[in-house]
Amino acid sequence: MSSIRNELVALDTNQFVFAVRRDPAHPFCRKLLFERIGELRIFVPREVIRELRRNLIPSELQAALAPLRRAVELLWDFGGPPEETVSHFRNLGAKKGDAIIAAHLDASEIRTLVSENRHFLNEIPNLPFRVISAESVLNDLG
């Protein structure tokens, strides 16, 4: 069985936005969210929810979140990461927004972030989680 099915994975904001907007450069986001989400255990940090509220109109937000109820497991995390963990990633050179996300995943022991941002914290060595694309997840699911 594929390992990605056995762990909680976080979806970055861009997964939802590209899926709902059917972005032509990122077709795998739509496929993952609307066709294969039922095979995954999903973690949604509060930062992503807040960002989605700003990036999408209300009906798009509803459309973006509705598929999540098909997930094997769904964990909404409305807490925040410890400030010292945020500072740790900022001191390593991360932008504030990226540092908060990284700290949240690290503090929650999430080891996979699905994101189309290939440059997400790529300047930081030994990230405590991997960053993979929707296409990679689909390949892993088979």
Partner 1 sequence: MPIVEEQVAVTVTLPRSVVNHIGASAGRDNHTVEEELRSLIGLALALEGEPEELAAKAEREYAGHLAATGNERPTTEELWEQMRRVREEVANELYPE
Q: Which residues bind partner 1 (CB under 8 A)?
A: 13-14, 17-18, 20-26, 34, 46-47, 49-51, 53-55, 57-70, 76, 78-80, 83, 86, 95-101
Taking the complex as a whole, the smallest distance from the CB of residue 132 to partner 1 amounts, in Å, to 18
Which of 8/64 has CB closer to partner 1? 64
What is the DSSP code string of 68-79?
A: GGGSSEEEEE-S
Check: CB of residue 33 under 8 Å from CB of residue 15: yes
Which of 80/128 has CB closer to partner 1? 80
Which of 1/25 has CB closer to partner 1? 25
Check: CB of residue 139 under 8 Å from CB of residue 28: no
Taking the complex as a whole, the smallest distance from the CB of residue 1 to partner 1 amounts, in Å, to 25
Taking the complex as a whole, the smallest distance from the CB of residue 92 to partner 1 amounts, in Å, to 16
Spatial separation of the C-alpha atoms in residues 134 and 120, rounded to whole Å = 14
Please name which of 131, 75, 71 lies closest in space to residue 98, comparing C-alpha atoms.
131
